[in-house]
Each structure stands twice: as C-alpha cells, then as structure tokens.
Amino acid sequence: MAGDDFTVEAFTLLSIAIVAIAIRIVARWITAGPKNFQLDDFLMPLAGVFFGLETGAAYCVGNWWHGLANNSMTDEQRATLSPTSEEYRLRVGGSKTQVLGWSLYTTLLWLLKSCMAIFYSRLTAGLLNMKRRIHVAYILIGATYIAVIVSILFGCHPLRKNWQIHPNPGNYCQPAVSSIDIYVTVTLNVATDVYLISIPAPILFKARLPWREKIELLILFSGGIFVMASGILRCVLIVTAGANGASQAGSWACRETFVAVIIGNAPMIYPLGRRIARRAGGYLSTQGASGQSYPLDESDGPRPSTAMHGGNRKRKFLHPLSIPETQCTEEQVVLPQPTTCEARTWDESVGNPEGIQVVKETIVKMN
C-alpha cells in the first residue's frame, strides 16, 4: 500500500514539474520571443527528461525491487543468501538502481543550478563586479558536479562492489546508505546553493525599490533555501531509515528535485503571472502611481540617459532587477508623456509629389 501511495505521489510531482517547465517555455516565448531564448531555456526541458528518468528509477526501487538493496544485512544473512534466490536478485537489482538513481539525482540538481546561474548572468548584466561572481558560479558548479559524480562512481572501487552481497562490501559500497555519497552530495549541494543565493540578495537590498517589491523578489530568489532544507532532510532520513534506506533515498530524491524544478522555473513564470494579473485588474501594481520603476543605486549601474537626439522620447536606464523580468523589454522604456511626432517637410527630389505631409503619432505605454 505504501508503495502504491508513493507511486501516485511521484508521478503527480512529475506531472506538475512538466507543466511548470511548459509554462516557463510559454512565458519566455511571450516575454522574450523564441529568437532570444538562452541556454537555460534549452537546459530546462533536458532537466525535465532527467526528472522523468529519476522518477522511473525511484519507482523501480519501490515496485520492482521492493525497497531492497545490499544494505541492512548481517554477515550471517549474507553468507546464507543463495545467489539463485529471488531475494538475491532483488537486492542486486535494487543496488544497481541506487547507483543509477544517485547519478540521475545529481545530474538533475546540477542542471538546475546551471540554469539559475545563467539566469543570474542575464539578471545582473551591466552591474559592476557581477560578471566575476557569475564566472565563479560556473566554475563552482562544474567542479562540484565532477566531485559528486566521482564520489558516486568511484567512492566504491571496483564499481561492481556496489551490488556485492557476500562478503560485506562495507558502507561505502552500499549505495542506498553510503556515507560518502550522502555527505559529499549534501555538503557540495548546500555550498553551491548558498553561493547562488548570495548573488542576487545583496543587490536587491541596495536597489531603490518599494519594500513590498523587494520582499517579493527576495522570496522568489531565495527559493534555494527550501531546496537546501529538502536535501538536508533527505540525508537525515536516509541515515536514520535503517532497512528502509533504499526506499527513503528514492522517495526523497523525487521530492527534493521537484522543489528544485519549481524554484528554478518560478522566476520565469512570475513576470508573466504579474502581467496577466495586472491586465485582469486583480493585481495592485507596486511601481507607484506614476508608473515609474526605480533603478539600482547609482554606483551599481548606468545613469539615466538624457533625451534621445532628434526626438521627444526619453529613455531611462532600468535594470532587470527593478522589475521581475528576465531581460529588458519595451515595457521598460519610460515615456512620461504621450509622444507626438513633429511635422516634417518631404523633399520633392525623393519622388513625393504632394509636398508637405503632417504625420502625427501618439504612443501610450501602460505600465
């Protein structure tokens, strides 16, 4: 019964995650256009594929192998278990799936971290000292991913000892409860999440934004805290689960990565949600009665530009952090007054026989 409950839960989470990724793609299509898709827009569907594979591995652990692996056995039980028995087959299969599950889990989490780093690189474009921090994030993500994968695949050597039953291969070769897998993964997972969270948070505090909007963005960009909490809780439950360690590992891997997928897509979905809510009249804009947004502190970005030469349009620098958009769009052009084009005299030499024409155009931007 418990296995059936988890099956329903796991595939429900998978369905919600796929819907979230689809909404993200639609949101990016609307706000940026397909020609402006960035690397993370292509990595996120790939992450959805890995989430599906991870869910399938967790399903196999509980329903095919009945939660069994090569852990939680006494030396006597190992010695008396026949290699031709059904339990032996289940334990070997479960252990192999645990190695696969750890690899899929790690790859998925680090793909999501990469997507966030790429998003932050766009979000902080033009801000002083941010380019270096983004480069450090890329290096940190790459180095920690290699370290975790190496610990999973080579922490137990040779690899086949990960599904060895007799003699006892030791804790490092019991992938469901391996200390090296658990502690290396959780430590580097938390370290990278802390660094990624530290990128936008200080900038938001310095931004000249209403506090309500600051709080909204801080909550949005601090979602990694929930991912860290899920990862730590997962490791604690695995260590204390005993004979249920294999099942707990698969179950909590799906739950943690589900949270990570939702958090990773929320910043892309949020701007579209706000736009729809504003147009529906159900959202009170936080940009103020004048419709203006506030740029970052003058030391953190370009000054507002002066009026454009040869026209009446005025453009003001508006960094993406000042509103929850992923990149600058036409909505970020501040037009204090409707713009009227002046009359122009058409030169007859260019083939216009009607002489002077007056063209009047009014552009109204609604924020």
Delimit the domains of the chain by residue range.
2-279
Question: Which segments within the chain are labelled E, that is strand?
Answer: 339-340, 362-363
Q: Would you place residue 82 in the very low, low, confident or very high pLDDT band (cuts 50, 70, 90)?
A: very high
Q: Which residue has the tokens 């604690």?
A: 236
User: Hey, what are 331's tokens?
Assistant: 């909505």
On the question of pLDDT at 287 being above 60, the answer is: no
On the question of pLDDT at 344 being above 80, the answer is: no
In sequence order, which residues have a C-beta less than 8 Å from that of residue 175 and are 6 or more positions away? Answer: 69, 95, 98, 99, 102, 152, 156, 162, 181
The size of the chain, in residues, is 367
Q: Would you place residue 3 in the very low, low, confident or very high pLDDT band (cuts 50, 70, 90)?
A: low
Q: What is the pLDDT of residues 20-35, one digit of tens each?
A: 999 999 999 988 888 9
- Residue among 189, 251, 200 nearest 226 (CA): 189
Count of beta carbons in the 10 Å neighbourhood of residue 106: 24
On the question of pLDDT at 329 being above 50, the answer is: no
Residue 223: its pLDDT value, please? 76
Average pLDDT over residues 121-143: 87
Average pLDDT over residues 264-280: 82
Domain 2-279's class? mainly alpha
Are 236 and 186 a contacting pair, CB within 8 Å?
A: no
Average pLDDT over residues 254-259: 88
Q: What is the pLDDT of residues 144-171, one digit of tens each?
A: 999 999 999 999 989 999 999 999 999 9
More confident residue, 113 or 243: 113
In sequence order, which residues have a C-beta less than 8 Å from that of residue 332 and are 6 or more positions away? Answer: 293, 318, 323, 325
CA 129 to chain centre: 23
Phi/psi at 318 (5° precision): -140, 105
In sequence order, which residues have a C-beta less than 8 Å from that of residue 228 and are 6 or more positions away? Answer: 189, 190, 193, 194
On the question of pLDDT at 115 being above 90, the answer is: yes
Q: What is the pLDDT of residues 289-315, one digit of tens each?
A: 444 443 333 334 444 443 444 444 444
Residue 304: its pLDDT value, please? 42
pTM: 0.74
Are 130 and 204 a contacting pair, CB within 8 Å?
A: no
Residue 258: its pLDDT value, please? 92
On the question of pLDDT at 216 being above 80, the answer is: no
Encode 160-192: b = buried (16+ Cβ within 10 Å), e = exposed: eebbbbeebbeebbbbbbbebbbebbbebbbeb
- Helix, strand, coil distribution of the chain in percent, nearest 5: 65, 0, 30
Residue 200: its pLDDT value, please? 81
| C-alpha R_g of the chain | 27
More confident residue, 45 or 335: 45
Give the C-alpha separation, 100 to 267, whole Å: 30
- Residue among 178, 170, 171 nearest 152 (CA): 178
Please tell me the number of Cα atoms within 13 Å of 75 on its side-chain side.
3
Residue 241: its pLDDT value, please? 67
Mean pLDDT over all residues of the chain?
77
On the question of pLDDT at 117 being above 70, the answer is: yes
Give, for 257, the enclosing helix (H) or strand (E). helix 245-279
Is the torsion defined by CA of 166, 168, 173, 177 positive or negative?
positive
Beta bridge partners of 344: 357
Give the C-alpha separation, 110 to 116, whole Å: 10
Give the C-alpha separation, 28 to 289, whole Å: 28
| Cα dist from 119 to 139, 256, 267, 285, 311, whole Å | 16, 21, 9, 24, 34
More confident residue, 206 or 363: 206
Residue 281: its pLDDT value, please? 67
